Chain A
Amino acid sequence: MALNDFIPMQERCSNCSFCKWIPFDKVKSVRFAENCPAVVHGGFNTYAARGRFQMGLAIAKGELDYTDEMARITHECLDCGACDVACKVCRYNLEPLDHNRELKHDALLKGHILPAQLKMLDSFKAEKTLVVGAKKADRTKWAEGIEWAKKPEVLFFPGCKYSYDKKLQKTARNAAQLLLKAGVKLGYLGDAEMCCAGRLYQMGFFEQFDKRAEANIKAIEKSGVKTIVTPCSDCYHAFKRLYAAKGLKVEVLHVVEYLDRMLREGTLKFTKTVDMTVTYHDPCHLGRQGEPYEAWEGHEKKILNQVHTWEPRRPRYNGSKGIYEEPRNILKAIPGVKLVEMERIKEYSWCCGAGSGCSVTDKEFSEWTAKERIEEANSTGAEALVTACPWCKDNFEKAGGIKVVDIIDLALKAL
């Protein structure tokens, strides 16, 4: 799709501003009622999905050209999808998140790329990772000494962050070893592993994403596995939603789903007590965006003169089928762990601030977003903020103010 294809949506947005708030049924306080970090931080309507529709419409119709400020605002979107969920409490024919991405894509096509994005792109081209400064040659170091299954059935895909971030590598090792110990026939692409490019997609680099996804799909298919398991929420979303749309057929699981499955099957049992009150942060790309892909080809159709529908009925991604219970089941199964919830959770969770590359391209905004979340976490009285995504963990740690724990590490403590 191109920006022009979004004109019907841009014109059918009713400007209600629901996209700025969590679903209203869930509002419990004035402090934590808003959902869109960009508009809370930036202030102007322009930052919210409704503003992006308005600005996008003027661009699509040729009434406006990007200024530097417009390009900056376009890219100051975390791809968190909170607007999408809030919109779809009432609307069935709008896709604010897709539009946000298309607007970024359009800006990029017209040459409006941020300097930090250029650096990420260079790194992607040269080193096959968006982690600026990382070297391809170092990618597999985290896995040294791990004995992978000879004929793997399950592929472990740690992704760039776990592979390169020294603070996180241990978590990836732990996760892999836990699964291997439990008898999972686990393999690793090794040198053949490259960035999933999900983040590129979030940033609007669709063409670059397509190329990488196609190559990765080939590598995955060649490995012959039936399942991919990843501890990274971004990779999860890339495989489960974006690669699936490009034909990837293997089952995609996040580590939390795998562990939850093992708990239910009895192949994993937590035996040690971990006395800790925790709160759980739903990563956007595992939670509301972690819904399974459903193939669809169709067109819009009006019924009853004007009522707008799709033929055939179109899959509706609104966060209802995201991964929310699996991580909570794990936490609840750990003896001694007490889970206290924040006000904004599950499909209406507040973002960590790292999405769409903003932790690199827009550091102040990204850190501010994380701090907002930490304040919310602290308001629950929890000792630690648990999450299931390395990008979230890293961003929260950079912001400081609370102990941040990867759910894999917490699970390991209880074994």
Chain B
Amino acid sequence: MALSKEIYAAFEAVVGKNNISQDPGVLQTYRCRAPQSSAHYGPYDHTTPTPQAVILPGSTKEVQGVVRLCNKYKIKFKCSTTFWSAHGYIGSDYAVQIDMRRMNGVEIDEKNMIAIIQPYAIAATVQAEAMKHGLTCNIPGVGCSSAIIANTASWGGPGPSSVFTGNAYENLMCMEYVCSSGEILETGSAGYGAGWTCGEGVGPSLKAIIRGGQGTRGELGICTKMSIKLSPWPGHATLETVGTIPAYRASNMENFRAYCIDCPSWEAWGKAVMKINDNNLLYLGHRQFSMFGNEVKAAMLEIITDPEKQMADLPALMADPVVKKNNDNMAIEFHIILAGFSAKDLAWKEAALDEILKEFGCWKDEWFLEPEHEDYLKSYLMRLGHKNLNYVMIGGYEGCFGMDAANQPHTCQLIEKAFAIHKEAQVTGTYAAAVGGDTAMGSLGGHGGGGGPMGWEFFSHFDPHDPESIKGTAEYHDRGPLKFMKEYGLGVEMGHSNANCRKPDGYAFSQEEHNAKLSTLPGTNPFIYQWYVREYMNPNHLGDSYYETCDPEAVKNAVIDVNAETGLR
């Protein structure tokens, strides 16, 4: 069913003629080609459905107007900002896409150490504005191109600096929120007259209408304003970098030290990470460049830090004995930034770090001790502005495994088994890049706060232009990581974490399909709870199936499937 002229005109009256389009070319650019974004339900070779219109509201009032019309005419809608991942796109034929880019405001309240942001405030701009006030924000692991509100709504925002700044969902204070019903909700302290500073006002917490393990992903409404906690920034008012593109490197982070820490074993790695974290040494902690693959990472570092080099140089670099040695040194590594709130503070942290490294036989990586490389690491991790390197190998990657290392010693024992599975797939098949079995990356923040590594996301680099490469990668994810995670009881497999959210053809699940899938899972209650929340917040069901709900009626006669592949997160 196409949007009628009358309905289009009604939307147009709300946002103005220039901020709505039904042109086929415009609509095409609001469809996600799934293999091009790590969608975590495939990768599959499809494009998500075409929206009926794309709408760009410029204010809360306009958002409300649009949502009210969607209710009136029972049109599904999905709001989004940077549109990087599949969850930002609509999942049915009779739906409109709402692009939040006109609302990009950032306001810093220095005294209260908060930022009041609008939906299109990306982490880079929030951080840049905060730095002027001696503050900074959490930059999610997806990188600073991501909008903070969207990140809070979609993944919770663990990232390299979360160990110090907290994850996105932990930093959420107050919200202005247009419910799917069209009502405007303000959470937080409005009742106390304290502006945007108090996390909650009277009554139960309503933060979960946006955040959660993977957020509500635009299902329950549209957040139009949010206040978030900021963290102290013991650096200059701007991040200054020198060097030639793409090898920009920090030139004014004197109060910080960045290291790559190499470890003799995974056991030492785990223990060192834990102890460093227990002693509160970190401003930032991450395992980053391993995402390229353990057989190529030192060579890739040579490429990305040297403007003259490029991917064609990879074989020669891999064969270079010096690069090989560097690669061996950094086989089992992680990256950290220490911040000095005073010279004494930094000196103490350095001394404590040295002692911990000695205890576990770890060492500071020599390549990264070169001042230029250290400066590169500083700005790279602090701003996290090169995250499209995730796709550098060919143009597509999908994350898999995702062992949550809250139980760190357990996963450290298992990780080498996972590497072997990953490597074998690269040897027996040609669909993914053969870059080594260890492509595991993650932040040392911990999803639930606290220390230890978070989910180790393994990268499968594939070619989104090659159907065989897409298909082969999807098949491998089914038979390798999914089986492994289940066998060892390690929770949701990352590459399938959205398998209940979007179907292999790009469409959303219907409620009946969700009921059938979710009612048989061990532990259905959260989905029933979400059903009640959704019934209240979004009575006309104008979202899609990223917010997983199960009708309580469906559970009554359901038989629990103890072997169910995906479940709670």
Q: A-side interface residues toward B, CB under 8 Å?
A: 7-8, 11-18, 21, 23-30, 33, 43-46, 50-51, 54-55, 57-58, 64, 66-67, 69-70, 73, 85, 87-94, 301-314, 316, 318-320, 347
Contact = CB atoms under 8 A, between A and B. Distances in A.
B462 A306 contact: yes
A305 B83 contact: no
8 A-B pairs with the lowest CB-CB distances in the bound complex, closest first: A24-B385, A12-B395, A70-B25, A313-B312, A51-B29, A90-B388, A30-B125, A14-B391
B68 to A, nearest CB: 22
A15 B101 contact: no
Q: From A11, A302, A318, name the one whose CB has the most chain B CB atoms within 10 angstroms.
A: A11
Contacts of A45: 26, 29-30, 83, 99
Given A305-B430, A309-B314, A55 B28 contact: yes
26 contacts: A11-B464, A17-B145, A21-B122, A23-B385, A26-B248, A29-B125, A30-B121, A30-B129, A33-B124, A33-B128, A45-B26, A51-B29, A55-B28, A87-B388, A91-B391, A93-B395, A304-B296, A306-B463, A307-B314, A307-B393, A308-B311, A309-B310, A311-B312, A314-B310, A316-B310, A318-B245
A320 B29 contact: no
B454 interface: no
B400 interface: no
A25 B241 contact: yes
Contact of B245 (A29, A50, A54, A89): A89
A85 B244 CA distance: 12
A307 B385 contact: no
Given A25-B383, A55-B29, A44 B99 contact: yes
Interface in B425-480: 426, 430-435, 461-466, 469
A347 B246 CA distance: 11
B396 interface: yes
Given A16-B84, A27-B124, A64-B28, 4 more contacts: A25-B385, A44-B21, A94-B395, A306-B433
B128 A16 contact: no
Contacts of B462: 306
Nearest to B463: A306
Contacts of B33: 11, 15, 54, 57
A14 B388 contact: yes
B54 interface: yes
Contacts of B435: 304, 307
Contacts of B384: 24
A80 B509 CA distance: 43
Contacts of A66: 25
B83 A17 contact: yes
A303 B314 contact: yes
B245 A312 contact: no
Interface in B156-191: none
B104 interface: yes
A99 B32 CA distance: 19
Contacts of A320: 244-245, 307
A55 B19 CA distance: 19
Given A17-B84, A46-B26, A306-B469, A69 B21 contact: yes
B121 A309 contact: no
Contacts of B28: 46, 54-55, 58, 64
A319 B245 contact: yes
Q: From B82, B312, B390, B465, name the one whose CB has the most chain A CB atoms within 10 angstroms.
A: B312
Interface string B55-96: 010000000000000000000000000111000000000000
Contact of B104 (A14, A17, A30, A309): A30
B25 A73 contact: yes
A27 B128 contact: yes
B394 interface: yes
B395 A11 contact: yes
B207 interface: no
B474 to A, nearest CB: 14
B18 interface: yes
B23 interface: yes
